[in-house]
Structure 1
């Protein structure tokens, strides 16, 4: 922050947060912040989570829900690169969402992987590094699974355990992140199921974790949640 944020505006100790009387705290650093300090922040202000992969941890999610209810503050979650989140939520609320699969592909240099995935290597021009429940992916790729985590929150009937996340290393995608969202809904009279497949190409600097369009989407999430009143719970915005 040195040189870009005036010292008087810097808060180096979260225990002093109450002295600043914040209305909203915005997290854009790492899910570790939410794990360690999310509930504490909710004691004093609404919280906008920029790392929704943090909510794959069930203890963290429960702590946030309890703190939100106790102090009357809201946990807002930025939808980020998730396209069509409102439509997913509507279909889920109507009881029609049967399956949801989110695939994120980019160049290997754009990944920040942990645990067993940190040692994963591309075996060809396009390699699937992970395919399975989003809950299992989030701790291994906390900075590359936020779109999938947002999808799990948009579809609570499926949640982190039944929304499928796929992480793909693609050597050809040097300057973009590609997100495919595939969902199936209820079958119609003919027996064929309702289906949607969106394909999003997000320009990105080589090696970047976040695409350029995601920054704009996050900014609009921030503006949107500032216009909403506080209400307990976790809400996409």
Structure 2
């Protein structure tokens, strides 16, 4: 990825110390960018935490490995990026927010069944044809059973407080023809106007992905660019949706 567009950014007034929670594909990519490109952008990696600490061996300098997430305050982070399981935020989100802003970035996937990581009753469902709707209903009912595949829906529910988790509809579709792509469609429609017509917006996104992958190829770059973009904003405490 070219970084020239980021050079010369005025980062003297924004967060500089960054902590990474999770060391899967996204975490590894962010750590690599922070170690190689972070210094010229005014960003300093201060810790990396993973549930399986052994996964960091040989790739994350020992001084940056955080063994106990509860001790993150000792590293004085300005921004913490969570790229782990949603349970981590449920368990430690409040503690993280005591010390730093929390960048909450995820994508949802509608793809080949092998790209899903489902839990509860959804995990036992089997497609009966080449394309099957596994879930259609309020996002609140989907998130607990598809925590890795419903993040775009959850972000929409948070960004639209007048609708929330009960009135934003989530649809999870298994399509055997989509072996190397994740597809996201967002449809928004307003109430009928005086003429009976409604305002509507429909976006369609196709993110290339390796067969069976949870994370699309473009998502890795998107996370890095979102982190850099977040650090250009005036520093404010809280969770950032990008």
Could you tell me which residue of structure 2 aligns to residue 33 of structure 1?
Answer: 88
Could you tell me which residue of structure 2 aligns to residue 105 of structure 1?
Answer: 110
Could you tell me which residue of structure 2 aligns to residue 200 of structure 1?
Answer: 205
- Partner Cα separation in structure 1 for residue 64 and residue 239 of structure 2: 28
CA RMSD between the two structures = 1.5
How far apart are 1:175 and its partner, in Å?
Answer: 0.3
Relative distance call for 1:187 and 1:234 in structure 2 (3 A) is farther
How far apart are 1:15 and its partner, in Å?
Answer: 2.3
Task: Give the SS at the match of 1:187.
Answer: coil
Deviations 1:192-222 (A, max 9, x none): 1011111111110000111112222222221
Q: Which moved more, 1:214-223 or 1:17-26?
A: 214-223
The alignment's TM-score, normalised by the length of structure 1, stands at 0.75
Could you tell me which residue of structure 2 aligns to residue 161 of structure 1?
Answer: 166
- Partner Cα separation in structure 1 for residue 100 and residue 240 of structure 2: 15
Unaligned runs of 5+ in 1: 52-79, 82-103
Unaligned runs of 5+ in 2: 1-55
Deviations 1:48-78 (A, max 9, x none): 1235xxxxxxxxxxxxxxxxxxxxxxxxxxx
- Partner Cα separation in structure 1 for residue 102 and residue 241 of structure 2: 12
How far apart are 1:44 and its partner, in Å?
Answer: 1.1
How far apart are 1:234 and its partner, in Å?
Answer: 4.1
The correspondence for 2:152, drawn from 132, 136, 147, is 147
Is the 1:105–1:178 Cα contact (8 Å) retained in structure 2?
yes
Aligned residue pair count? 187
- Given the alignment of the two structures, is residue 42 of structure 1 paired with residue 74 of structure 2, yes or no? no
- Given the alignment of the two structures, is residue 24 of structure 1 paired with residue 79 of structure 2, yes or no? yes
Is the 1:29–1:50 Cα contact (8 Å) retained in structure 2?
no
Is the 1:148–1:165 Cα contact (8 Å) retained in structure 2?
yes
Is the 1:27–1:50 Cα contact (8 Å) retained in structure 2?
yes
Deviations 1:58-101 (A, max 9, x none): xxxxxxxxxxxxxxxxxxxxxx46xxxxxxxxxxxxxxxxxxxx
How far apart are 1:224 and its partner, in Å?
Answer: 1.4
Could you tell me which residue of structure 1 aligns to residue 134 of structure 2?
Answer: 129
Map residues 1-237 of structure 1 onto 2, 5 A cutoff.
Answer: 1-51=56-106, 80=107, 104-237=109-242
- Partner Cα separation in structure 1 for residue 127 and residue 217 of structure 2: 25
Whose radius of gyration is greater, 1 or 2?
Answer: 2
Relative distance call for 1:233 and 1:7 in structure 2 (3 A) is closer
Could you tell me which residue of structure 2 aligns to residue 70 of structure 1?
Answer: none
Higher RCO (Cα < 8 Å, 6 or more apart) = 1
Could you tell me which residue of structure 2 aligns to residue 73 of structure 1?
Answer: none
